[in-house]
Amino acid sequence: MEKIRTFIAIKLTPEILSNISKLQEELKKTSAQVKWVKPENIHLTLKFLGHITLEKLEKVKTFTREALRPFAPFEISVSGLGAFPRIEYPRVIWVGIDEGKEELKRIAFSIEENLAKISFTKEKRPFSPHLTLGRMKSLKGRERLIEALAKLMTSNLGNMKVTKLSIMKSELRPPGPVYTTLEEIVLQEL
């Protein structure tokens, strides 16, 4: 039985992706050993579902639609540069969400609760809305990267109105992942 690797996400506007690309170019000047995510592949993941059957995908669509029923379109602002586990020891470099963060947490919680009804495991860690820009491959250039992160920490990369969420298919290929939209769920004005 065919299984597809899937996740639920919010796609970003071309303007925000362009600003992310410029920010990555600035960080690349540090020559740090980072595997950068291609800007066109950056999205705001709300729930990773793993490999699921097409039959389960239909249930995911239904239960996600149900989870989103109480939510209307809302604004988010993409700003604030950081790193996991912390800026002094960056492993994953990310940009945060400022405005709209609480709404995103409520949506992620609603999706989490609803998909648990169809046997998806709940996340152990609390949802932290962020966009992954890159992952450190080695310690080479780390000091320069930390300095650049500190300087660019307050970068504002733009605002957008979230009007829909996407259920995405992820195919891992040698040149990098390929994402395909399987379903879009539009947030209704309340």
Task: Assess whether 43 carries a catalytic annotation.
Answer: yes
CB atoms < 10 A from the CB of 138, how many? 9
The DSSP secondary-structure symbol of 128 reads -
Catalytic residue among 43, 111, 170, 183, which?
Answer: 43
Tell me if residue 70 falls in helix, strand or coil: coil
Task: Assess whether 130 carries a catalytic annotation.
Answer: yes
Q: In this structure, are residues 94 and 131 in contact, taking their beta carbons and an 8 Å threshold?
A: yes
Tokens of 103: 């709404």
Q: Report residue 29 CA to chain centroid gap.
A: 24
Rounded-to-integer distance, Cα 32 and Cα 148, Å? 10
E strands within the chain?
A: 3-11, 34-36, 43-53, 74-86, 89-97, 130-136, 156-162, 164-171, 178-186
Catalytic residue among 130, 133, 136, 162, which?
Answer: 130
Q: b/e map of 158-177 (b: 16 or more CB within 10 Å)?
A: bbbebeebbbbebeeeeeee
Would you list the DSSP string of 15-26? HHHHHHHHHHHH
**Residues marked as catalytic:** 43, 130
